[in-house]
Structure formats: C-alpha cells, structure tokens
C-alpha cells in the first residue's frame, strides 16, 4: 500500500448481519449518512458514492453545532462486490476494506495509511469509532 513511510493502521469489527446487507449499508449514500461520523455530536448531512474503479466518493461530515466540518473523499482503485474495496484519499493515502462473510456475521477489516497530524493511537481510535457506529446502525436497522 502506498509509497510513503507511513504506518499502516488496521481497525475491525464483526457485524451481526449477512455480507450482502453489510455491503449495502457500507456503500449506499442513504445509509452512509446515518453512520459515517465518530460521535453523537457529529453528523453526515450528505454522501455521494460512485462505487466502481475510477469512481469518486464524498461524504460531508459536520459538527451538529455547525462549528466545524470537512469533506471525506477520494477515488476507488478496486471494487469487488461483497468482498473488497480499496481507494485513495485526497491526500494520496491508501485505504482498503475487506468484508469477510462468516455465516450470518460479517467481519469488516479496514486498513489505512496513517497521516502525520495526529498520533497513530488517535487515528486508530477515530476510525474504530466509525466502525462501531457502522456496526450498531447496521444491526439495529
């Protein structure tokens, strides 16, 4: 992955749902806006997703009080239905997501190149928070 000297950080969760549902909730904009934030005081008012190699995606994330917001986006490098996604972020960091079907459970494993601003621990905790949100939203929907 990638060309820089950045560490690779991996986070994962197991969702109590079949892989087809997990894939749909991970990739469809109407679901992304319901889970793609790290804490309850944030939300994702908008998501766009062109799910194919060369396709672009963008999720708008904002603090609910309007104090801060940013666009999370990039370009897909590889998409294998119900199995694997890789993409490159706007700052050229690579991300991979694997969907491992285990009976009626799906393990989601996400690896990403660390950035230089925050500690690896902070980044790991932040990305894990997104995964935890995804898990709870998918399981209760």
What is the model's pLDDT at position 5?
63
What is the model's pLDDT at position 4?
54
CA distance 27 to 21: 10
Q: What are the residues facing 15 on neighbouring strands?
A: 106
Span 16-32, pLDDT tens digits: 999 999 999 999 999 99
Span 59-86, pLDDT tens digits: 999 999 999 999 999 999 999 999 999 9
Kindly indicate the confidence band of residue 128, based on its pLDDT and cuts at 50, 70 and 90.
very high
- The answer to whether residue 1 scores a pLDDT higher than 80 is no
Q: Which residue has the tokens 């950045």?
A: 6
What is the model's pLDDT at position 6?
80
CATH tag, 8-140: 3.30.530.20
Q: Where are the domains of the chain?
A: 8-140
97-to-11, 68, 69, 81, 116 alpha-carbon distances in Å: 10, 27, 24, 12, 21
């Amino acid at each position: 992955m990638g060309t820089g000297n950045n560490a690779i950080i991996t986070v994962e969760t197991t969702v109590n749902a079949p892989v087809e549902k997990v894939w749909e909730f991970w990739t469809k904009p109407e679901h992304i806006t319901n889970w793609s934030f790290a804490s309850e005081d944030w939300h994702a008012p908008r998501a766009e997703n062109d799910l194919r190699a060369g396709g672009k995606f963008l999720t708008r994330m904002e603090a609910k009080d309007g104090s801060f917001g940013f666009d999370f986006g990039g370009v897909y490098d590889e998409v294998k239905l119900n199995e694997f996604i890789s993409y490159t972020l706007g700052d050229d960091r690579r991300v991979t997501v694997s969907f491992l079907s285990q009976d009626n459970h799906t393990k989601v494993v996400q690896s990403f190149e660390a950035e230089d601003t925050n500690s690896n621990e902070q980044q790991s905790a932040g990305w894990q928070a997104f995964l935890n949100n995804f898990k709870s939203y998918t399981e209760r929907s």
